[in-house]
Amino acid sequence: MFTIQLNNLSFKAFHGLYAEEQIIGGTFIVNLSVNFSIANNKVITIDETVNYDNLFQTVSYQMQQPTALLENLTKNISDAILKQFHQVQEIDIRITKKNPPIKNFNGDITVCYTTKRS
């Protein structure tokens, strides 16, 4: 089993329940780990592995689709990855919302989601 990780990807996006979040936007940090198998454990061409540039493009596209709840966003990203990359067997994704608009709250929140191909 191989693993590719995309770490500390920063996005300006418009996710959230509140109108202010959907207008002003916020900063989100994505950490993604995908586990996958390769036939014979040998890679000759990029088509035989998970192309991390394409993986990043998939995450980036989904991050630009405004979503009210981060739980749904993590699921949407995971579903898109499983659809695009047949080799991927397991995904662990963490999305952090920097400075959420919560009164008297000083910090970040993170939603984590792990799934396996059925």
Catalytic residue annotation: 97
**Residues with Cβ within 8 Å of residue 59, at least 6 apart in sequence:** 6, 9, 30, 32, 77, 81
Computed on alpha carbons and rounded to an integer, the radius of gyration of the chain in Å comes to 16
What is the greatest pairwise CA distance in the chain? Answer: 54
Other C-beta atoms within 10 Å of 68: how many?
A: 13
